[in-house]
Structure 1
Amino acid sequence: MKIDKATVGKRYAKALFELAVEEGKMDEIYQDLLSLRTIYQEIPTLGELLSDVRLDKNEKRQLMDTLIKPFSGLMERFLEIVFEYNRMDDFLLIAAEYERRHDDKKGLVIGTVTTAVALNNQQKEALENKTASLLNYQDAKLEEKIDPTIIGGVIVEANHQVIDGSVKSRLDYLRSKLAR
């Protein structure tokens, strides 16, 4: 049975994260993953090239050697394993899951806030503080999205939860109650 890419990403990230915490290198590995993610964003086909079994092994090895040159220790060993099992095309999923685990361990929740108009700095900071408190985190970082169709209020999405305080959703709720 073939495992889907998201599951692969979670498994590899979990293993790397647990080892990084055990070795006291959680933040170092996090920074390494961020720098690798930048490379993957600059060369979108890199993962496919390194995982394609049809390509010449020596050429892939040379490319891999160049990629891992700046890394040592745990990160180098991890990348070698991912390469050996032809999972370099899953790297971005692995990095995203590691980042989620890292942020969670640091007490940081990442999410989005949708508003009808842009928030000022004070409003955004207050909303981040309230979101962190509601979700039992120390801190929250919310990416802003503007959607005039919500009319007013806010919709916060973080940690697989949605807090919908939009005027539109309240009006829709009232409509449904009145229609009965």
Structure 2
Amino acid sequence: MKLDKATVGKRYAKALFELAVEDGQTDEIYQDLLSLRNIYKEIPTLGDLLSDVRLDKNEKRQLMDTLVEPFSGLMLRFLEIVFEYNRMDDFLLIFAEFERRYDDQKGLVIGTVTTAVPLNSQQKEALESKTASLLHYQQAKLEEKIDPTIIGGVIVEANHQVIDGSVKSRLDYLRAKLAR
């Protein structure tokens, strides 16, 4: 049975994260992954090139050797395994899951806040503090989105949870109650 890319990304990231924790290298591995993510952003086809079974193995090996040159130890071994199993095209999924686990370990939750109008810095800080408290984290980092259709209030999405305090959803709820 072939696994979907999201499952593969989660499994590889989980393995790398657990090994990094065991070796006390989570910060170093995270920094290595950040630098690799930047390379993938600069060369969006890199993962496909390194995973394409139709390409010449020697050419892929040379490219891989250049890519892994700055890395050693756990990170180097991990990248070699990912390369060997033709999963370099899943790197961004692996990184995203590792980053989620890393942030979780650091007590940080990442999410979005949708408002009808932009928040000022004090409002955003207060909302991040309240979100962190509600979700039992030390800190929250929320990316702002503006959507005038919510009329007012906020919608916070973080850690696979939605806190909908928008005026639009309250009005929709009242309409449904009155229609009964």
- Give the alignment's TM-score, normalised by structure 2: 0.99
2:24 matched residue in structure 1: 24
Q: How does 1:67-106 map to 2 (within 5 A)?
A: 67-106=67-106
CA distance in 2, matches of 1:62, 1:166: 54
Q: Distance in 2 between matches of 1:30 and 1:87?
A: 19
Residue 45 of structure 1 is matched in structure 2 by 45
Give structure 1 regions of 4+ aligned residues with deviation exceeding 3 angstroms: none
**Structure 1 CA distance, aligned partners of 2:97 and 2:173?**
35
Q: What is the distance in 2 between the residues matched to 1:155 and 1:28?
A: 35
Which residue number in structure 1 is paired with residue 64 of structure 2?
64
**How far off is 1:100 after superposition?**
0.1
Letter in 2 for 1:79: L
Shift of 1:140: 0.3
* Distance in 1 of aligned mates of 2:147 and 2:107: 29
1:124 positional shift: 0.3
**Share of identical aligned residues, percent?**
89
How far residue 35 of structure 1 moved from its aligned partner, in angstroms, is 0.8
Equivalent AA in structure 1 for residue 137 of structure 2: Y
Counterpart position of 2:134: 134
Aligned residues: 180
Q: Which residue identity lines up with residue 102 of structure 1 in the other structure? A: Y
Q: Report the counterpart of residue 11 of structure 1 in structure 2.
A: 11
Per-residue deviation, residues 133-159 of structure 1 (Å, max 9, x unmatched): 000000000000000000000000000
Gaps of 5+ in 2: none
Task: Give the distance between the partners of 1:35 and 1:169, measured in 2 at CA.
Answer: 41
- Report the secondary structure of 2:165's partner residue: strand
User: Structure 1: where are the runs of 5+ without partners?
Assistant: none
Letter in 2 for 1:98: F
TM-score w.r.t. length of structure 1: 0.99
Task: Give 1:96 deviation, angstroms.
Answer: 0.2
RMSD: 0.4
Structure 1 position 105, deviation (Å): 0.5
Query: Partner of 1:144: helix, strand, or coil?
Result: strand
